[in-house]
Structure formats: structure tokens, C-alpha cells
Chains A and B, each alone.
Chain A
């Protein structure tokens, strides 16, 4: 069974520091990787996607992908209290071009 694993947290980070969120996946042939942010009681919203090995930067956010080790990470620089949320990792497996396999999410708390 294809799985996506995340540390549930909570991960507590001081304001202004770098928050590092990690995700591992079981399907070696997975094609695309997504990070969604979900505030409490709200719906998920896309932060970033990545599909090639290496880093992808967008403002304060950097996604890192290592297919050989089967992990993807999200770095948040200069963390703000508004970044406090649950971050969901989602992976598109090789044998399906419609389905995303979702991790349970990591709860991030930014302390002022």
C-alpha cells in the first residue's frame, strides 16, 4: 500500500527562525509532490509543488526533493505567527495520474 509519512508534531519554532518540515513516501516511482497548508477548521490550500530533484524556491518557502532517498521537505524562512498551521504533503504515485496520496500532516506552531 502506498504511503506518505509525516511527523504529526507539533513542531514549535521561534518567530524569525527556519521551520523544516519533512515527508517520506513509499512509491519509488512517484511523479509529483505537493505541499498544502491547512489552517484549523479550514480547507487545504497549495503552497508549492515540485517534480524534479533539488530545490525550488518561492518567496520564504523552499521545497526540496530527493527521489533516491524518497523524501521531500519544505523549509519556511523567517517564520511568522501566521505560518502556524498544519502542513500536508501529497504525492502523485506512478501508476495513477489522477490520485494524490496524502500524509496526515505536521502541525507547525510559530512562537512570537
Chain B
């Protein structure tokens, strides 16, 4: 049971490039989330999904896109990377929505630098 896995661990992008951050969970969780964490800041929700085929925006969705074609995978796409997207990105999953008091399980994170 690997839990939540993310790739890559580190990436440096040039301004204007695009990339996809991969996230996979093997716990059969319906709910998945993408967060970003800037230094000294809390987690900000980018997008979330309540099941395959269903996604919705969080607090800071601009510049990102997601898809959820399977229960296991929830990739995050960055289009036209900007320096403001330099951050650590965490994928998380849970059995129920956060308000259901269930634990969110986090992946190890992707450290992204845009220069």
C-alpha cells in the first residue's frame, strides 16, 4: 500500500513552459485535493475532486487545470508557468470530504521552481 504518490519530486521550469504534476492514490479514496504551500504560509486549495469525472475549483485555481478520469489519478496541469507558481505542491486524498472529519492523506510533495 503506497498511499499517495506524486511525481516528480523536484522540477525547474522556465517562464512560459507547461508541465503536469502526477498524483496517484491506491486507497480507493473518492476525494482528492491539490494544494500549494508557499514558504511560511498555510496550504491553499487549488482544485479538488469528489469522484471520477467531477472536479471543482478551490481558492487559487488560476493558472492550473485538473482532470479525474479514474479514482486513482488526479493530475495537475500548469500552463504557461509564471514565477508566482514557484511553490511546493501537495496532493491529498480522503474517504470523505474534509468536513466529514476524515483524515486527509498527503503525498510527499513536488517542489517547483519557475525562473
Contacts and interface: CB of A to CB of B under 8 A. Distances in A.
Contact of B97 (A45, A51, A88, A98): A98
Interface in B16-47: 31, 40-45
Interface string A43-61: 1111001010000000000
Interface string A28-48: 000110000000001111100
Contacts of B100: 97
A46 B92 CA distance: 12
A12 interface: no
B99 A31 contact: yes
Q: Which 8 A-B pairs have the closest CB atoms?
A: A102-B42, A97-B99, A43-B106, A98-B97, A92-B99, A102-B43, A46-B103, A100-B98
A54 B103 CA distance: 21
Interface of B: 31, 40-45, 48, 50, 58-59, 90, 97-101, 103-104, 106-109
Contacts of A88: 42-43
A4 B108 CA distance: 24
Interface of A is mostly: loop
B86 to A, nearest CB: 16
A4 B106 contact: no
B7 to A, nearest CB: 14
B43 A98 contact: no
A46 B94 CA distance: 12
26 contacts: A4-B42, A8-B40, A31-B99, A43-B90, A43-B106, A43-B108, A43-B109, A44-B43, A46-B104, A49-B103, A88-B42, A90-B42, A96-B99, A97-B98, A98-B31, A98-B50, A98-B98, A98-B99, A99-B99, A100-B98, A100-B104, A101-B42, A102-B44, A103-B42, A104-B41, A104-B42
